[in-house]
């Protein structure tokens, strides 16, 4: 069945779908439904509901989101608003050429379309939501009275041997400031930090992948008389930055560079640090530069509370853009107390430096009963198919399921999916055999 799923996924890949730009893929879904004479509904947020109805069976909601995190390699410029994703198959893995793949959550969309397209007697309410990767606007504004089922299976997971029954809260924050540049010219440097893997700011936060923004600040912290001209690193809240660059002057950079580079590569073997001399036409004073570096030095990426086995709170320094006077930070947590403590700590940090602090987006986590009928049925079906256990987990990622629970608390929720690695990065890939695993699980569950 993977061939048909891959066919639908390749069709989806023709439609650029960064968050907030899902109209084209929504229209594709509407056209699909009309060709099959299914009920279809599209709202003003480009959410799409397709119903394949059978009055003799209880309906089941199958869900995926249509948007994706769009990132590319530093040497590959691409307009994600118009350029299709170029998919690549190497052995058992599906990936993309120098960009993120969009398997999160396009692979879920493709599996649901395949189930709808098959000649079967299922009763499916297929819900496709938008803007999940940013503010979850689609799930927040959908009309849940249109759904009849009390059971929702989302395909927005990462592993074919897991069932997710809970997720972390998320808080995306911005620190803003107005840079006061001098406009004299002087000779300085352009330093680039690259070669890191990048990754999902929730699922990969405990893997010590390295954040290019933090590494850049660590380097600058060890230099004297720094005058910053530009820092640019990262973009998406939910991506661990793997490429950053800084334009700056310093009195001792060249003397210290080789030692700094050697020490950092011991920690991150794939790290690449390169620099060249350039002419700067604007820069901050030494005092203003130190102020910004000192602030950024206190914003770490990784597990803040907990350990590698149990994460209570994590944080990601997502983006630095000096020219725009913007810093982005993302936080995920499983404790309201720790969440709020960290938010207040960051707020105080920003205000102590005279910067502005704001919360861009904040979503609650959720947790359902691992003994719920939906969960137990899926675990039973998985065991009968593959003769092994389906692990039931509360994951350190943020999901629309938390909004579903708030908007329609009577709905039971479980999340399953194929195996997706490196989500939100240019290393994103799908283990192709796991597509059949997930499809078989859903197929047998729906038959049951």
Report the pLDDT averaged over residues 304-326.
Answer: 93
Please give the pLDDT value at position 424.
87
pLDDT band at 16 (very low <50, low <70, confident <90, very high): confident
- DSSP lists the bridge partners of residue 308 as none
Give the global pTM: 0.82
Q: Is residue 187 domain-shared with residue 332, that is, in the same domain?
A: yes
Q: Is residue 132 domain-shared with residue 217, that is, in the same domain?
A: no
CA 132 to chain centre: 9
309 pLDDT higher than 80: no
pLDDT band at 307 (very low <50, low <70, confident <90, very high): confident
Please give the pLDDT value at position 397.
86
**Listed range (68-77, 180-189, 312-321) with the worst mean pLDDT:** 68-77
Q: Is residue 96 domain-shared with residue 219, that is, in the same domain?
A: no
User: DSSP characters for 140-202?
Assistant: HH--GGG---SEEEE---S-TTEEEEEE-EEEEEEEE-----B---EEEEEEEEE----EETT
Q: 72 by DSSP, 3-state: which? A: strand
- Say how many domains are in the chain: 2
Q: Is residue 63 domain-shared with residue 190, that is, in the same domain?
A: no
CA 360 to chain centre: 16
pLDDT in tens, 401-427: 999 999 999 999 999 999 999 888 899
- Angstrom distance (rounded) from CA 370 to CA 202: 22
What percentage of residues in the chain have a pLDDT greater than 70? 100
- Angstrom distance (rounded) from CA 287 to CA 77: 35
Q: 395 by DSSP, 3-state: which? A: strand
Structure tokens given for 9: 């996924």
pLDDT band at 310 (very low <50, low <70, confident <90, very high): confident
Report the pLDDT averaged over residues 5-23.
Answer: 95
Contact 233, 191 (CB under 8 A): no
Helix 23-35 vs helix 103-117: crossing angle, to nearest 10: 10
pLDDT band at 161 (very low <50, low <70, confident <90, very high): very high
pLDDT band at 244 (very low <50, low <70, confident <90, very high): very high
Q: Is residue 236 domain-shared with residue 336, that is, in the same domain?
A: yes
How many other CB atoms are found less than 10 A from the CB of residue 300? 13
Contact 333, 363 (CB under 8 A): no
- Which residue, 298, 328, 363, sits at the end of a domain? 363
pLDDT band at 1 (very low <50, low <70, confident <90, very high): low
Q: Is residue 148 domain-shared with residue 214, that is, in the same domain?
A: no
**Listed range (70-74, 142-146, 313-317) with the worst mean pLDDT:** 70-74
Q: Is residue 182 domain-shared with residue 265, that is, in the same domain?
A: yes
Please give the pLDDT value at position 329.
98
Q: DSSP E strands: which ranges in 225-282?
A: 227-233, 239-240, 244-249, 272-280
pLDDT band at 54 (very low <50, low <70, confident <90, very high): confident
Q: Is residue 335 domain-shared with residue 282, that is, in the same domain?
A: yes
Contact 57, 123 (CB under 8 A): yes
- Which residue, 336, 363, 390, sits at the end of a domain? 363
Q: Estimate the share of the chain in helix, then strand, then coil, as percent rounded to the nearest 5.
A: 30, 30, 40
Q: Is residue 262 domain-shared with residue 113, that is, in the same domain?
A: no
Q: Is residue 316 domain-shared with residue 406, that is, in the same domain?
A: no
Q: What is the CATH number for 313?
A: 3.30.70.360
Please give the pLDDT value at position 271.
97
For the chain, how long is the longest CA-to-CA vector?
78
Count Cα atoms within 13 angstroms, Cβ side, for 372. 21
- Which residue, 343, 363, 383, sits at the end of a domain? 363
320 pLDDT higher than 70: yes
Q: Is residue 23 domain-shared with residue 92, that is, in the same domain?
A: yes
Q: 108 by DSSP, 3-state: which? A: helix
Q: Is residue 223 domain-shared with residue 140, that is, in the same domain?
A: no
Report the pLDDT averaged over residues 303-331.
Answer: 93
Structure tokens given for 66: 């249509």
Structure tokens given for 319: 């983006």
Q: What is the CATH number for 404?
A: 3.40.630.10
| Domain that includes residue 134, residue range | 2-167+365-447
Contact 103, 423 (CB under 8 A): yes
pLDDT band at 442 (very low <50, low <70, confident <90, very high): very high
- DSSP lists the bridge partners of residue 200 as 239
- Angstrom distance (rounded) from CA 231 to CA 143: 43
């Amino acid at each position: 069945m993977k061939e048909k799923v891959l066919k639908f996924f390749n069709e989806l890949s023709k439609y650029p779908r960064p968050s907030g730009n899902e109209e084209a893929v929504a229209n594709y879904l509407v056209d699909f439904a009309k060709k099959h004479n299914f009920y279809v509904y599209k709202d003003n947020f480009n959410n799409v509901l397709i119903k394949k109805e059978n009055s003799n069976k209880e309906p089941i909601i199958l869900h995926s989101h249509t948007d994706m995190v769009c990132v590319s390699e530093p040497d590959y410029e691409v307009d994600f608003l118009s350029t299709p994703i170029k998919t690549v198959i190497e052995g058992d893995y599906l990936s993309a050429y120098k960009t993120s793949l969009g398997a999160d959550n396009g692979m879920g969309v493709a599996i649901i379309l395949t189930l709808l397209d098959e000649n079967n007697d299922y009763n499916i309410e297929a819900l496709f939501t938008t803007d999940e990767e940013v503010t979850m606007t689609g799930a927040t504004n959908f009309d849940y009275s249109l759904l009849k089922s009390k059971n929702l299976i989302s395909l927005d997971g990462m592993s074919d041997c897991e069932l997710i029954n809970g997720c972390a809260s998320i808080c995306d924050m911005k620190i803003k400031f107005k840079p006061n540049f001098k406009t004299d010219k002087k000779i300085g440097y352009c330093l680039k930090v690259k070669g890191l893997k990048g990754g999902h700011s929730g699922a990969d936060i405990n893997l010590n992948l390295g954040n290019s923004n933090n590494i850049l600040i660590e380097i600058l912290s060890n230099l004297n008389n720094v005058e910053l001209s530009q820092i640019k690193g990262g973009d998406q809240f939910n991506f661990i930055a793997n490429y950053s660059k800084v334009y700056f002057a310093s009195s001792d950079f060249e003397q210290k560079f080789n030692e700094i580079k050697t020490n950092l590569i011991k920690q991150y073997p794939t790290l690449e640090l390169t620099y060249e001399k350039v002419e700067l036409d604007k820069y901050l004073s030494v005092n203003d530069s130190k102020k910004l570096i000192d602030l950024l030095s206190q914003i770490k990426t990784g597990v803040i509370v907990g350990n590698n086995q149990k994460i209570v709170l994590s944080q990601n320094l997502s983006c630095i853009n000096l020219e725009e006077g913007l810093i982005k930070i993302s936080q995920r947590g499983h404790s309201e107390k720790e969440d709020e403590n960290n938010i207040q700590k960051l707020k105080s940090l920003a205000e102590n430096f005279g910067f502005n602090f704001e919360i861009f987006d904040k979503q609650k986590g959720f947790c359902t009963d691992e003994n719920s009928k939906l969960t137990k049925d899926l675990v039973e079906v998985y065991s009968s198919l593959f003769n092994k256990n389906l692990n039931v987990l509360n994951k350190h990622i943020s999901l629309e399921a938390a909004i579903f629970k708030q908007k329609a608390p009577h709905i039971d929720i479980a999340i399953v999916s194929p195996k997706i690695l490196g989500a939100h990065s240019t290393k994103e890939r799908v283990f192709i055999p796991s597509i059949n695993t997930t499809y078989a699980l859903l197929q047998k569950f729906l038959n049951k």
